[in-house]
Amino acid sequence: MPDFKQIIFSTQPNGIARIILNRPEARNAQDANMLYEINDAMDIAANDDQIKVIVVSANGPHFSAGHDLAEADPIGSLKEHKSVTSFGGLDGEGIEPMFGREQEIYYGFCERWRNIPKPTMVAVHGKVIAGGLMLVWPFDIVIASEDTTFQDNTVAMGICGAEFFNHPYELGVRKAKEMLFTSDFVSAEDAHRLGAVNHVVPRDELEDFTLNMAAKIAEKRLFSLKLTKMAVNAAQDNAGRNATNQQAFALHHLLHTNFALISGAPLAPEFIENFAKKKSG
């Protein structure tokens, strides 16, 4: 078992594996190490035939503040890990290292997690911001506490949506556009009404509610669960979900490249200025 530092991983005799984000001091902001830890834990749970369902949740006041924009060496930190996509290019020129990084730990991980061949659940609370959605959209069942709010503020950063672009499939195209154009928060209630969340429960019932449903799922045959998941995922993929994601990821990198040409940094200059001010103040 790897020595996890930013997550807590455990398995239960009733067939449930739990992954708990455990970086509350950083509001569970995801750096490369945390994402590799989640990916490693997903692999362990996926390869264990005793595990029928994987449950992700988070410690601290918020589920996740998104990607850790303050990560010291975003490219170098990837080289400490074995690549799962083998996309490479980390020593390349121009946008190549950044494209390789996001292809691996954002888009690549999210597609892998979505296609893990057994049911996955996520229990969210507090704020779920931008990259935080990448720990929600790829999972099969989403349980939210009443205080949960979802935000993708990447348009405020100058970009056209987070790297895993499932928004239209989660919220419908109207709400997806409103969420992105305004950078406003979407409430748990709205997300539930639109089908992006299975159930909304009081905060103090979130864990029990989620684990009770996981236990019910874990009573079923694993092979049947696997093929059921494949069948439902195929409905989205045959309707073009995968192609939509690939196109959105390319457009996302067009904007990263645009800002790199303008200012040498991959986000809108006004966003970077505000971010630096907030950090120093």
Name, in order, each residue with C-beta under 8 angstroms of 26's C-beta and a sequence gap of 6 or more.
Answer: 65, 68
Name, in order, each residue with C-beta under 8 angstroms of 125's C-beta and a sequence gap of 6 or more.
Answer: 58, 62, 63, 144, 145, 147, 148, 203, 206
Q: Which amino acid is at 131?
A: G
Q: Which is nearer to Zn ion, 102 or 104 (CB)?
A: 102
Sole residue written with tokens 């990447």? 154
Q: Whole-number minimum distance, CB 118 to Zn ion, in Å?
A: 29
Q: Which residue's Cβ has the minimum distance to Zn ion?
A: 102
Q: Which is nearer to Zn ion, 102 or 170 (CB)?
A: 102
Print the binding letters for residues 40-79 with Zn ion: x by CB under 5 A, - otherwise: ----------------------------------------
Q: Select the span of 40-48, 96-104, 123-131, 183-191 touching Zn ion (CB under 5 A).
A: 96-104
Q: Which is nearer to Zn ion, 68 or 102 (CB)?
A: 102
Q: Select the span of 102-110, 124-132, 198-206, 235-243 touching Zn ion (CB under 5 A).
A: 102-110
Q: How many residues bind Zn ion (CB under 5 A)?
A: 1
Indicate the pairing of strand 53-58 with strand 120-124: parallel
SS (H, E, C) 190-201: HHHHCCCCCEEE
Q: Which is nearer to Zn ion, 126 or 131 (CB)?
A: 131
How many Å apart are CA 200 and CA 218, to the nearest integer? 21
How many Å apart are CA 21 and CA 164, to the nearest integer? 19
Q: Select the span of 28-36, 53-61, 97-105, 190-198 touching Zn ion (CB under 5 A).
A: 97-105
Residues of this chain that interact with Zn ion (CB under 5 A) are 102
